[in-house]
């Protein structure tokens, strides 16, 4: 990704762009809360609401949290910048939803906790930039071999996975078949690691080295994961990676990060304005699943752990044998049974491990 040291004018322009992102994020949540709009989900079921009478409260909360966004305008690009901005958007959405939710818990304490957790995460993520001294550095040839090994590993995993499950179905029908799919646990772990981490890493490595044919092969392998997993992640990841690649070629790194969320979200709103109900599918995939659902998860986890036992991180696999755990099943299954909203698999910002409020979160909701 192209990067140049930030200048005052660039910082100002970036700050304005982030303010636009914050505004569009709130507008998107207002649209998603309108249950009269013909869309592919029921907003009240997911506790997404909007009450004009409380708009001033939400505006004040968001305006206060918007001050935190100044950290992005004055910090340099890093991997922490990328991750931090996505987390910031997630917490921003939660603070907005927190002003209107029908779930019953201490909303003020949860909001303060979420904002404080975001700040405590962003400070080191954005400003600790000194690299750890490496004792071992891969040579250029070794790095190439590593990328090739990832491709071969993916091919083998996909071939084995196809033996257990292989089915072409439309994205709207995957839920009719996915729960019936069975495969060994080790294969499930391997497939998840390859689709979410190894193949995207290989694509970035090939793209950075301008090995575009092998980068294309990586995208093709990601698509091949769809018929054996019936996961929307496998279906849309290639499009997402290509989009990020193009943004990194057209814009300065920090602007590309902001546009990677702002752009798809804004497209959804434009499509709604132009085509109304015909844009429901796009809005439900991007504005709802990609951006709103992580914030909804924080709301749900706060509500659940306000009345249930805490985990104290016992859900982490290597700690489970030595810690008493009130939940024998994964939290994603526990949440599905409690709220019937799909498998919310939370960690980091929503563990319920230390307090009655939710601190940190990453998730998959498919």
Would you state the pLDDT for residue 344?
Answer: 72
Would you state the pLDDT for residue 353?
Answer: 40
Q: Are 252 and 10 in contact (CB under 8 A)?
A: yes
pLDDT at 30 over 80: yes
Q: CB count, 10 Å around CB of 60?
A: 11
Would you state the pLDDT for residue 170?
Answer: 65
Q: How confident is the model at residue 207 (pLDDT cuts 50, 70, 90)?
A: very high
Q: Are 361 and 285 in contact (CB under 8 A)?
A: no
Residues in the chain: 366
The pLDDT tens digits for 177-201 are 666 677 787 888 888 889 888 999 9
Q: How confident is the model at residue 265 (pLDDT cuts 50, 70, 90)?
A: very high
Q: How confident is the model at residue 172 (pLDDT cuts 50, 70, 90)?
A: low
Which contacts (CB < 8 Å, 24+ apart) does range 271-275 have? Answer: 272/31, 272/37
More confident residue, 331 or 250: 250
Kindly give, in sequence order, each residue whose CB lies less than 8 Å from that of residue 203, ignoring residues fewer than 6 positions away.
Answer: 215, 218, 219, 241, 245
Least confident range from 45-49, 62-66, 268-272, 307-311: namely 307-311
Would you state the pLDDT for residue 190?
Answer: 87
Whole-angstrom distance, CA of residue 129 vs CA of residue 103:
39
Kindly give, in sequence order, each residue whose CB lies less than 8 Å from that of residue 194, ignoring residues fewer than 6 positions away.
Answer: 150, 153, 154, 157, 225
Would you state the pLDDT for residue 349?
Answer: 63
Query: At how many degrees (to 10) do helices 79-98 and 8-33 cross?
Result: 40
Whole-angstrom distance, CA of residue 229 vs CA of residue 192:
9
Q: How confident is the model at residue 332 (pLDDT cuts 50, 70, 90)?
A: confident
Kindly give, in sequence order, each residue whose CB lies less than 8 Å from that of residue 47, ignoring residues fewer than 6 positions away.
Answer: 97, 101, 102, 103, 296, 299, 300
Mean pLDDT across the stretch 325-336?
Answer: 82
Least confident range from 41-50, 326-335, 350-359: namely 350-359
Average pLDDT score, the chain: 84
Strands (E), the chain: 347-348, 361-362
Report the share of the chain in percent with pLDDT over 70.
Answer: 86
Would you state the pLDDT for residue 217?
Answer: 93
Mean pLDDT across the stretch 115-122?
Answer: 92
Would you state the pLDDT for residue 364?
Answer: 34
pLDDT at 115 over 90: yes
User: Which pTM was predicted?
Assistant: 0.84
347 backbone dihedrals φ, ψ, rounded to 5° = -155, 170
Beta pairing, strands 347-348 & 361-362: antiparallel
């Amino acid at each position: 990704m192209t990067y140049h040291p930030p200048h005052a004018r660039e910082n100002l322009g970036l700050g304005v762009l982030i303010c636009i992102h914050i505004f569009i994020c709130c507008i998107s949540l207002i649209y998603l809360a309108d249950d009269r709009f013909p869309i592919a989900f029921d907003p009240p079921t997911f506790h997404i609401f909007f009450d004009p009478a409380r708009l001033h409260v939400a505006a004040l909360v968001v305006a206060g949290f918007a001050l935190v966004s100044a950290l992005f305008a004055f910090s340099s690009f890093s991997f922490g910048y990328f991750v931090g901005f996505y987390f910031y958007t997630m917490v921003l959405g939660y603070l907005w939803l927190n002003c209107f939710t029908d779930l019953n818990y201490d909303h003020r304490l949860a909001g303060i906790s979420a904002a404080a957790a975001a700040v405590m995460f962003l400070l080191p993520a954005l400003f600790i930039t000194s690299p750890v001294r490496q004792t071992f550095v891969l040579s250029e040839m070794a790095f190439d071999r590593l990328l090739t090994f990832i491709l071969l590993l993916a091919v083998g995993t996909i071939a084995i996975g196809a033996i257990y499950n292989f089915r072409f179905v439309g994205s709207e029908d995957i839920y009719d078949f996915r729960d019936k799919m069975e495969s060994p646990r080790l294969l499930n772990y391997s497939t998840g690691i390859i689709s979410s981490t190894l193949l995207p890493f290989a694509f970035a490595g090939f793209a950075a080295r301008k090995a575009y044919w092998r980068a294309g092969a990586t995208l093709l392998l990601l698509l091949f994961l769809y018929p054996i997993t019936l996961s929307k992640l496998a279906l849309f990841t290639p499009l997402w990676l290509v989009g990020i690649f193009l943004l990194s070629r057209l814009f300065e790194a920090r602007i590309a990060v902001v546009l990677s969320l702002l752009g798809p979200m804004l497209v959804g709103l434009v499509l709604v304005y132009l085509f109304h109900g015909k844009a429901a599918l796009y809005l439900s995939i991007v504005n709802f699943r990609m951006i709103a659902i992580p914030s909804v998860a924080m709301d749900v986890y706060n509500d659940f752990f306000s009345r249930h036992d805490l985990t104290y991180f016992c859900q982490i696999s290597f700690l489970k044998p030595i810690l008493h755990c009130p939940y024998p099943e994964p939290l994603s299954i526990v949440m599905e049974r409690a709220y019937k909203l799909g498998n919310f698999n939370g960690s980091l910002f929503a563990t319920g491990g230390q307090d009655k409020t939710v601190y940190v979160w990453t998730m998959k909701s498919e």
